[in-house]
Amino acid sequence: MYSGDNLTTKKALAAPTQPNIVFILTDDLNEDVFAKDAGLQSLLTQKGTKFDKHFVELSLCCPSRTSTLRGQYAHNTGIYTNDAASGGGFQTVYSKGLENSTIGTWLQDAGYRTAFFGKYLNGYPNGAPSNTYIPPGWTRWFSPIGGTPYAQYNYSVNDNGNIVTYGNTDADYGTDVISKKLTTFIKNSTTNYPNKPFFTWVAPYLPHGPATPPSRHAGKYAGEKAPRTPSFNEADVSDKPEWVKNKPLLTANQIQNIDDFYVKRRESLLAVTDLVRNVIDTLTAQGIIDNTYIVFTSDNGFHQGQHRLDSGKNTAFEEDLNVPLIIRGPGVPAGQVVNNFTAHIDLATTFAALAGITPPNFVDGRSLVPFLKGNTPSVWRLALLNEHAGPSTLNSNTSNGLLEPQDPNDVQAIAKGGAPVYLGLRVKPVITTAVKTYGPLNYVSYDTGEHELYDLKADPYQLNNSYNALTTADPVLKRKLDTWINNLKNASGQALRDAEETIPQ
């Protein structure tokens, strides 16, 4: 559908000196589901560079999206949750004025035509002057303001200041509508503004629950099962913190629900694959594919059954934080895999660098452009911070469709039994003591006084919490981990980047 196969390739009237950028941000897409989509692999991974150690700093929609907009950690945006009642969501972003300086405003000021299509920040436009509010920095705006956009049908949209309502026919399917609006923008930009580059932020609601696939893809993966990783329904969680220890083994019914939801997530993602194909077809037909970067990622990962946890996110486990990032475009090495730590805070800085502009000093991230030229910087971060505001992340009001519906049976989304407040740290194999050199590590320090520590080389599925054993045998390791977190947790800008590169003594 909308494949663009009949489009005729043409030479662009003129090429802007700055490249075009198409940024596609999916919702709740984890590495496993991404890797199983053959279309995305052929369209993106095989044609571009994959960042294999790419992380979100906080595994929840609004905090992650805000960090992506501004290139900042949550402790510098102040956004840790999805709704205003808990100090997060669009309403808080708006009231704090964070939208006044984002990748949208920077690129628009640099001469770009900017466009936003799809899911913005959770709760939008609650707290804004009106339902037709358009944040600063966007030339073209198309974002749902009510109804049930997560279900792909029966929703209302702020379409450049006009409220448009969509129903429940095949033509109203949300991701397809976004795809058509996006490709129309690309055609119009090339035809009417041939000397101006464009930047598009494209945010389909998939594969977030209810993960409704379009009718053309429904049933394609019937009978598939969620991956039975070694951590799936983990038999022994006695080494885990209390919030995990308290989880009983998943029941047969819960496992069936996980499998059913996994099927829907994979089938619904096929609509995103169609969108990506349409974009590539359109860029090719317009003669601008060779001057356009396509960046594909997700706002957070997703677990399904690991460590006895039902479908959800918002933990420090790899499934929730390690997300796909693929970039293809002019000069980008095809098939290259980057294993350096990268994060969503780097994306705004990267887009700015591609556009030839300098981002504000408040930005915490760093540019990925050297990797896109096949080069590895001589100095790069050795550790990456992870933050979490605690278990009370249940959306206070989902009735108007503006806040995301809770993930089915997501134990982390329930105020009782979720992960406590924590700070986490991912470390390359660089920490050396008199005992040994450690790494790669995943360290989590909870405000309950509990800890988790995993050697990801020996224990990639995080089955054995080695905190007590390792820190008892080597207290210097504990001191260095805690010092590194303390050096990062309140830092910003260049000081934060310096701290990421500096191993505590």
Contact 99, 66 (CB under 8 A): no
Rounded Cα–Cα distance for residues 132 and 501 (Å): 44
Tokens of 240: 């885990």
According to the CATH classification, is domain 20-375 in 3.40.50.720? no
Tokens of 213: 């696939």
Element of type H or E holding 191: helix 174-192
Rounded Cα–Cα distance for residues 223 and 7 (Å): 36
Contact 314, 393 (CB under 8 A): yes
CATH, range 411-501 = 3.30.1120
Contact 310, 410 (CB under 8 A): yes
Q: Which residues carry out catalysis?
A: 61
Nearest to 5 by CA among 216, 217, 275, 285: 285
Q: Are strands 54-55 and 162-166 parallel, antiparallel or unpaired?
A: unpaired
Judge if 20-375 and 411-501 fold alike in CATH terms.
no
Rounded Cα–Cα distance for residues 378 and 452 (Å): 31
* DSSP 8-state class, residue 120: -
Domain boundaries, the chain: 20-375, 411-501
The pLDDT profile of the chain, 505 residues, written as one tens digit per residue, is 323 333 333 334 446 789 999 999 999 999 999 999 999 999 999 999 999 999 999 999 999 999 999 999 999 999 999 988 888 999 999 999 999 999 999 999 999 999 999 999 999 999 999 999 999 999 999 999 999 999 999 999 999 999 999 999 999 999 999 999 999 999 999 999 999 999 999 999 999 999 999 999 999 999 999 999 999 999 999 999 999 999 999 999 999 999 999 999 999 999 999 999 999 999 999 999 999 999 999 999 999 999 999 999 999 999 999 999 999 999 999 999 999 999 999 999 999 999 999 999 999 999 999 999 999 999 999 999 999 987 755 454 454 555 566 655 454 445 457 889 999 999 999 999 999 999 899 999 999 999 999 999 999 999 999 999 999 999 999 999 999 999 999 999 999 999 999 999 9
Nearest to 497 by CA among 325, 389, 341, 370: 341
Rounded Cα–Cα distance for residues 277 and 314 (Å): 31
Contact 264, 213 (CB under 8 A): yes
Largest CA distance in the chain: 67
